[in-house]
Amino acid sequence: MKIYFLSFAFVSSSIFAQAEQIEYRVNADLYSQPIAIQSFLDDWQDPKLRSGNNAFAHGKMQLGLQQGNWNYAWVWRYDYVLNFSHDLAKLYYQIENDQPIDADQRYYLKLNAAHVDAVGTRFAYDWSLQDNLTLTTGLTALIGRHYVDGNFQGAGQTTQMQELLERVDWLNASLNYSYDKPALKEENMGWDARANRGYGYALDVGLAGRLFDRVDIRLHAEDIFSYLYWKNAPYTQYELKYDQDQRPRFDIQGKLGVHKRYNQRLPYKITSSINYAPVSSLWKAGISTLSNEYLTLYQLNVFHQFTLGELGIHYEPQSRAYGLSFEHENIGFKYLTDNLNTNRAHRMGAYLYARYQW
């Protein structure tokens, strides 16, 4: 880590004197379909369970220097992406809220989870395709700090019995995941191994500019074909079978172990926007998207130009979230939510940037 920061300090100090712009930017997007974000990240205590199969948290902090067509930046990033079956969300919700699980119910259980916490140094170059269109390509050298990556699958049947174990008639399930710190209390089984830091890279590509004199476009794809490589990475692999009619009822096969090297594919993100500005008008309108591997969220946007900058109003139909933004040459922000009471919000999004040019 010391070598990493010394190398970044050397690069930044050598170009700072010639830099044309310095920018600090923070982005965050969070979404939880079944319950409020706070409850999802905490104890699942929520008065109402909604239908839904996805939850995610994407965050990035970036401090960058622009020199001509080159951009150099220090980056911290956090990604947490979950895709699950509705049955799994309902079952976990019932257990955490001390509710009896449904009787005479067939459960289909599925969970895919990807989490990464990393820092790195990004090098990017802007290519001028034509006067008003720019292609940006970037490469980020990453040091991984924490991760979870894996899946759970299963199916089961319940009865009308009252006790939890008696209510489960049969269950077949498999678990396979790798991690730097155990997430399922493996430490209670004497598990104390921990992954060394991971090392890897992230690729990104962006396209921005104006078409037909009236249409502004922006497309940015992050973490395409990008990986972190973890050495001495712990993992858990289990096959579970439970049947009330068998003796013994439980049959658990599997192991705890360590991969010499685990290759984690980073969860990609794609953002895009297209806006139309009528001739000689201070207004423009458009649509933007945020996508990851499992879902795409759309936003409808209206902007108004005035003396101080540009004011935007945003609406995301899928999450029923509203947002407000302001952009100026040197500072800007955006805040989006479906509930101003953050304890009840299922969707939150925000960015903040500040830049200085000379």
Domain boundaries, the chain: 2-357
Radius of gyration for the alpha carbons in the chain, expressed in angstroms and rounded: 24
pLDDT tops 60 at residue 5:
no
Query: What would the pLDDT profile of 315-331 be if each residue is shown by its tens digit?
Result: 999 999 999 999 998 99
Q: How far apart, in whole angstroms, are the C-alpha atoms of residue 220 and residue 25?
A: 15
Residues 140-153 have a mean pLDDT of 97
Query: Helix, strand or coil for residue 15?
Result: helix
pLDDT of residue 1: 47
Residues 261-289 have a mean pLDDT of 93
The better pLDDT of the pair 346, 43 is held by 346
pLDDT tops 60 at residue 256:
yes
pLDDT tops 70 at residue 11:
no
Residues 96-119 have a mean pLDDT of 94
The better pLDDT of the pair 214, 176 is held by 176
CB 257 within 8 A of CB 237: yes
Query: Beta strand pairing status for 283-291 and 269-276?
Result: antiparallel
Categorize the per-residue pLDDT at 2 as very low, low, confident or very high, splitting at 50, 70 and 90.
very low
Among 300, 303, 298, 356, which Cα is nearest to 327's? 303
Categorize the per-residue pLDDT at 19 as very low, low, confident or very high, splitting at 50, 70 and 90.
low
Categorize the per-residue pLDDT at 191 as very low, low, confident or very high, splitting at 50, 70 and 90.
confident
Q: Which residues are within 8 A (CB) of 212 and not within 5 positions of it... i.e. 6 or more apart? A: none
Percent of the chain with pLDDT strictly greater than 70: 95
Beta bridge partners of 252: 240
Topology of domain 2-357 in CATH is Porin (2.40.160)
Residue 266, amino acid: L
For 30-52, give one letter per residue: b (16+ CB within 10 A) or e: bbbbbbbbbbbeeebebeebeeb
Angle at 267 between CA 185 and CA 84, to 5 degrees: 55
Categorize the per-residue pLDDT at 98 as very low, low, confident or very high, splitting at 50, 70 and 90.
confident
Q: How far apart, in whole angstroms, are the C-alpha atoms of residue 70 and residue 183?
A: 41
Determine the straight-line distance between the first and last CA of the chain, rounded to whole angstroms.
Answer: 32
The better pLDDT of the pair 100, 335 is held by 335
The better pLDDT of the pair 20, 189 is held by 20
Query: What would the pLDDT profile of 28-72 be if each residue is shown by its tens digit?
Result: 999 999 999 999 988 898 888 999 999 999 999 999 999 999 999
The kind and range of the H/E element at 186 are none
Categorize the per-residue pLDDT at 18 as very low, low, confident or very high, splitting at 50, 70 and 90.
low
Residues 93-112 have a mean pLDDT of 92
Mean pLDDT (the chain) is 91
